[in-house]
Amino acid sequence: MDKFVIRGGNKLKGSVIISGAKNGVLAIMPATMLAPGTYTLENVPNLRDVWTMSQLFFDLGIHCELTNNQMFIDTTNIKSYEAPYEHVKKMRASFYVLGPLVGRFGRAKVSLPGGCAWGPRPVDLHLKGLEKLGTEISIEGGYVIAKANKLIGTQIHLDVPSVGATGNIMMAAVLAKGTTIISNAAIEPEITALAKFLVKMGAKIYGIGTNLLEIEGVDELHPTNEVIIPDRIEAGTFLIAGAITESKITIENCNPYHLTAIIAKLEEAGCELEVYNDKIQITAEEPPKPVDVTTAVYPGFPTDMQSQWVAYMLKSNGVARITETIYPDRFKHVPELQRMGAQIEMSDNTAIVYGGKKLSGAIVMGSDLRGSAALLLGALIADGESEILRVYHIDRGYETIDKKLKQLGADIERVQTDFY
C-alpha cells in the first residue's frame, strides 16, 4: 500500500498535461460489447478503475490491453454474462455492462453495487428503464438477473438526469426494435461522448448533447476506434492546485468548454484565467475571495469538484458555503481536513468553511477519490509535512498525480507503507 508524503508551502509553475477522462473511458469500454470485433481507444488514462473494468472484461471473455495510453479491445468471444460482486464493489461503473449485455445477448447477471463511502447510490432508474424496454428483472442473492427477448423501443422519463442510467439505457436501446425516447437524460460530456461513439458504431441517436435523446434501434453495430475526451475533473483539480498555492500554471490538453462552471467560480474568487482552445493558464496572486458553490448536474458545478472547492476555500479570508445537492452525504473529507486545523462546520448538506486559518501538516486518510484529492490540496498549503494514507483512492481516478504535481514544483513523494 502507498502513501503520499507532502511538505507544504511550495509554489507551482509550468505546465501539466491532462489525461483522458476516467468517466469517459468507463462508459465507452462497455459499449464495445455491443458489436463483436476489435477496437482501439486512444488517450486512455492508466488508472485503477480502468484496470478494474479490464479485469471484469477478462472474466467476460473480452481481450483488453492497455499500452502507452492506447487500449486494444477484442470483443469477438464474449463467453460470460456475469459481472461478479468482487468487481462491482470495487467500482460502481462496472454496472455499465448491464445495458450492453441485455441489449446484445438478452441476458445478464450483474451484482448490485450497494452504497458507497458517501452514502446510498441507488440504481432504480437503470432498472426501471431496462424494464420499460421489455427486460424481465429480478434480484437474487444481491444480483440483478436480467432476461429479455428482443427489446422494444419506448418512452423513458428519468426522475433525475442520472449519468449512469442514461448510459445504460442508451446502450440497451441502440439494438432495440423501434424508437426509444429518453427524456430528462443526463447531458454530462461523458454521456455525449458515449452517444457519439455509439453513432460511430452505426447507432442512430438524435438530440445528442440535449436532455431529450431519440434512439432509433438498428439491427447491428460495428466496431470502430475512438479518442477519449480529456478529464474535466482532473483539469479542475489542477486549476485549484494552481489557485490554492497562489501560482501561475498552465493546464494543457483539456477542453475548457467542459469547465465553464469551474472557470467562472475561479474568476469570482479572483484568479486570472487565460482560456485557449485546449489549454488554460491560471494565475493567482493572492488568497481567494470566499465564493459559495452549490453542486448541480452539468453544466452546473460538478459534485466531483465539491471536496476540492472546500479545500480551496480554506485559503480564503472569509466564510464560504458549499452545498452538495447530488450526494448530500459526500463530506468524508471534512473531518480529515479538520485534523489539519481546518475550521469547517456542517449544516445538513452544506459545509460552512471559515477560511484564513493556517493549516498544519498531519497524517490523514482518504476514503474516497475526490475527497482524497481535497486532502492533497490541503497538504500543499499546510505548514510542515503531511501524509495521505490510502492513496489507492486517488489512483482510481488521477493518472500519476504525484509525478504531475512534482513536475510542477510540489514537494511530494510516493512511499510504500504497511500502515493503513
Using CB under 6 A, pick the residue from 50, 163, 261, 273 that binds ligand UD1.
163
Using CB under 6 A, pick the residue from 56, 93, 146, 262 that binds ligand UD1.
93
Kindly state whether residue 308 participates in binding ligand UD1, applying the rule CB under 6 A: no
Kindly state whether residue 160 participates in binding ligand UD1, applying the rule CB under 6 A: yes
Least distance in angstroms from the C-beta of 238 to ligand UD1: 17
Among residues 41 and 382, whose Cβ is nearest to ligand UD1?
41
Kindly state whether residue 89 participates in binding ligand UD1, applying the rule CB under 6 A: no
Least distance in angstroms from the C-beta of 129 to ligand UD1: 9
Least distance in angstroms from the C-beta of 203 to ligand UD1: 19
Kindly state whether residue 339 participates in binding ligand UD1, applying the rule CB under 6 A: no
Picking from 80, 101, 83, the residue whose alpha carbon sits closest to that of residue 92 is 83
Task: Give the span between the Cα atoms of 335 and 332, in whole angstroms.
Answer: 7
Least distance in angstroms from the C-beta of 211 to ligand UD1: 13
Task: Give the span between the Cα atoms of 234 and 252, in whole angstroms.
Answer: 11
Kindly state whether residue 258 participates in binding ligand UD1, applying the rule CB under 6 A: no
Using CB under 6 A, pick the residue from 7, 121, 200, 339 that binds ligand UD1.
121
3-state secondary structure (DSSP) of residue 280 = strand
Among residues 114 and 122, whose Cβ is nearest to ligand UD1?
122
Kindly state whether residue 123 participates in binding ligand UD1, applying the rule CB under 6 A: yes
CB 161 within 8 A of CB 212: no
3-class SS letters over 69-132? CEEEEECCCCCCCEECHHHHCCCHHHHHHHHHHHHHHCEEEEECCCCECCECCCCHHHHHHHHH
Is the peptide bond prior to 328 cis by the omega test (within 30 degrees of 0)?
no
Specify the pairing of strand 136-140 against strand 143-147.
antiparallel
Kindly give the residue spans of alpha helices, DSSP state H, lying in 174-244: 189-200, 232-244
Task: Give the span between the Cα atoms of 80 and 59, in whole angstroms.
Answer: 7
3-state secondary structure (DSSP) of residue 157 = strand
Binding to ligand UD1 by CB under 6 A, coded x per residue (else -) over 6-35, reads -----------------x--x---------
Task: Give the span between the Cα atoms of 213 and 206, in whole angstroms.
Answer: 6
Using CB under 6 A, pick the residue from 90, 126, 333, 404 that binds ligand UD1.
126
CB 355 within 8 A of CB 310: no
116 is catalytic: yes
Using CB under 6 A, pick the residue from 326, 335, 354, 392 that binds ligand UD1.
326
Among residues 116 and 218, whose Cβ is nearest to ligand UD1?
116
Picking from 382, 344, 343, 349, the residue whose alpha carbon sits closest to that of residue 364 is 382
Kindly state whether residue 125 participates in binding ligand UD1, applying the rule CB under 6 A: yes
Residues in 174-203 that interact with ligand UD1 by CB under 6 A? 186, 190
Least distance in angstroms from the C-beta of 91 to ligand UD1: 8
Place of cell 467500482: 91
Stretch that binds ligand UD1, among 155-163, 195-203, 385-393, 401-409 (CB under 6 A): 155-163
Stretch that binds ligand UD1, among 161-169, 265-273, 314-322, 375-383 (CB under 6 A): 161-169
For 287, which DSSP code? P
Amino acid of residue 100: P
Q: Which residues of this protein are in contact with ligand UD1, per CB under 6 A? A: 23, 26, 92-93, 121-126, 160, 162-165, 186, 190, 303-304, 326-327
Q: Which residues are catalytic?
A: 116
